[in-house]
Structures are given as structure tokens and as C-alpha cells.
Structure 1
Amino acid sequence: MFPLLAGGLAAQPARAASPPDSTFVRRSHRRAVFQIDQRFSIINGKVVGINGLRGGVEWRGRWRTGLGFYRLSGGLLTRQALPEGLPAGTRDEVRFRYVAGYGEYVFIGNRRWELSTPLQIGVGSYYTRFFFPDGHSERSSRRVLYLVEPSVGAHYRIFRWVGIGAGTGYRQVFASGQQPEDQISGYIFFARAKLFLGDLYKVFRGHERLLSQDWGEDE
């Protein structure tokens, strides 16, 4: 009886290994990531664009960190009153730019798509540019501002080397001195075009086709 039992057990095929978690792909190597990070925000009741570029490093497919540079696109009128002594017809516009370090955690995704929680902490300058009727311009003194931008983002990878993404969050601005008269704190919306420089390098070297949809195995 016991030999038959032992033989029966030995004849059974080995249990298949559990499939890997398909909701996330871990990578052992680091990769450089470059992003065009176009942001939109409501300032003084108007939707404005904030042009941004950022670059950083991704590791294990789940963590990213790096540095970004942003500037407010021109043409936004301020809310503050014109200083005394300026001629009639003077136009005043907000100027706002900052540099921010960012960290990003991908909490779910696979080779094609992901959801993440980016966080940016930065420092910038804020001032007003005055345009006079005679054609020349001057600016006010700069004020140093600090900001925190928590957000949630989604990303879709079109090919191995390029992807697009979008998200939303909130910008909270702090000042060490007088607070700005303009409403810079508020909700943000962003759109991204992301380049995976390592995979793009493989395309240039001829190791991958430019428009390949073959995802294969990540290194």
C-alpha cells in the first residue's frame, strides 16, 4: 500500500509555479527619464500654462526622482493696484518661475500603463513686469516663494521609448515675507510627453525598431 502511494505521488506532475504579478514589472537596473511637463493652473480666475522640463532617474520601475524647471507663460494681468506715479495706460503682468525637486511612486501598472503619485517641492521667484505706453518696460523687485505640489498622474507608453501622460493636483505656495496679491496657489492640471532615453538609445544603435510594439522582457 505504501509503495503504491509513494509511486502515485511520484507520478504526479510538479505543481506549476505561480505566475508573476502582472500588475507591476520590477526592473533591477536604473534608467534615465526626460519629460516635457506642460502644466495648467487657474491664476486670478484665468487658466494659464506653465511650461516645464524635468529629468531624473527611475529605478526598480517604481521610484523616480529628479529636478524640474518651470515658468509661467506671459500675458497674465495682475490683481494688484498700479503703484502711484505710473502713467495711464500702463499694463502690468505676473511673472512666476521656479525650480523643483520631485519624487514619484508608481503604485500600480505594467509595461504599457501606470498610475503614480508625484510630489514636487520647489523654490521660485515672483515679480510684476510693467509695460509703459511709450514701449519700454520695468519690473518690480523679486519675491522668493516656496511651493509644494502633490498630485496623481496616469501614464501610457505608446512605444518602448516614448509615452504620454496626464494628471491633476494642487499647488500650495508659501512666502517668507509678504504674500503675493495674485492667486498663485490652486489646482493644477498637467500633460506630459516622456522619453525613455535608454530605450531610445537602443533604437539609434539599431537594436530595436523605431515603432516596434514588441515589448519582450525588460532587462
Structure 2
Amino acid sequence: MPKKVLAAFLCAGTITTVVFFPAPAFAAVGDTVLEYGSQGADVQTLQEQLKELGYFPNSVETTGYFGTTTKQAVLAFKNDYKLTDKEKVGKTTETAILKALAIKKASASSSDTLRKTIIDEAKSLNGSPYQWGGASPSGFDCSGFTKYVFAQAGTSLPRSSQDQYGIGKAVDKAALKPGDLVFFSTYDSGPSHVGIYLGSGKFISADSTKVQIDSIDDPYYWGPRYVGARSVIEN
């Protein structure tokens, strides 16, 4: 219960005592418990937090009303974090949500740094000579290039393009991020060529003569040969 604030006023010759209750803090941090049927700014904040964590659907508006969608999102979160008390959101749940958000933010910062390191390293090798079976700046083949670049960023990759295609998670072309691996079918069926996505439709790879930057949608060569992408970086 919030602390009471007492104030005395002199009205018409009598002393009147008035009790003030301070405005509640964010519900789950104070004593208020959010549950099915609750509404207001605190509920909307909860919905936005759960949306950021991937529990509240992106396609659903955050209305500030604790309905079925919010209940399902809360239950999914609490199940993942081994929390009880059904769909109610009190101090324990809010603490867990804030901790999850902090971890996600730290992870995103770490992954952004890793992606930048990979891109910077890859670009620094632009123009390096091609060499079949090469995996060093003196000469690269396509998978030797990606393996070397990722190793400089502290991430280990398998040696062949086919094996690199089998790790991490698949990424839709429209959702590509700098640092993702992009694959093409060139001299052989399947993912026989691999490069590193740079952003803005560009990728870098060890082509048949040197390391160079190309358009992933080049209609004359790379576009028709694109077979997919993988991400080995969290977020």
C-alpha cells in the first residue's frame, strides 16, 4: 500500500485532515497487480515490453487493455522464465521482464559490434587475389574467405560453402543484415559459392579472380543464382 501523506488545513475555524495517496509508480514495480481486465498506461507499457521481447504480436496494436492477447503473451513469457501466479503481472514478473530487456539490449549491442567487425574485416580484404583452396590474404577461395573473416571476429565457420550453408539459421532475403552469409549456385548445384552481405543489396566474396563487391540482385549472374542466406550471429 502506498504511504499516506497527511495534511491539515484550517477551514471555517476547524482543522480538516486530508489524506493524499501519491500516484502509483509503474504498476508491476509498486503494489498494483495487472491482470485480465486491467487497463491504462501501465498495461500499454507491459504490452510494448512484451512486444519488444517477441511475446506480444507485432501486428496487434498496444491498446492498454489487458485482454486475451496480452494474457497469452504474459503466460508465454512466464512459462519461458518459470514464473507462476498464472497471467497476473506483479513485481516479480516485472523484474523478470526488465532483466530480459536488459539482456536483449546487451546482446543486440554485442551482435551489432560483431557484425561491424566482420564487415570492416571483409572490406579491408577487398581486392585480395583468388586462389583455389586459399584461406589467407595471400589468396582466397570463397569459403576460405568467409572462414578467415569470421575467424578474425572470433567466430568459427566450417571450411566448405556447403557446410557453411548448414549452420546458423535461415534468413529471408528481405530480412538480410550486414554480416549474414549469402549463398549462390555457380559451378555446382546447391550452395557452391558463399559471400558476406554488406547491406544495401551488396555482398563481398572471393570471386574467380579476386575478392570483390557485387550486387546480390545482379540480373546477369548473381541474381538468378541466389539460393539463400544464413545467419550465425544472434539477433
TM-score, shorter chain, exceeding 0.5: no
If each structure's helix is expressed as a fraction of its own residues, which one has the higher value? 2
| Structure of greater relative contact order (alpha carbons < 8 Å, 6+ residues apart) | 1
If each structure's strand is expressed as a fraction of its own residues, which one has the higher value? 1
TM-score tier after normalising by the smaller chain length: under 0.3
TM-score normalised by length of structure 1: 0.24
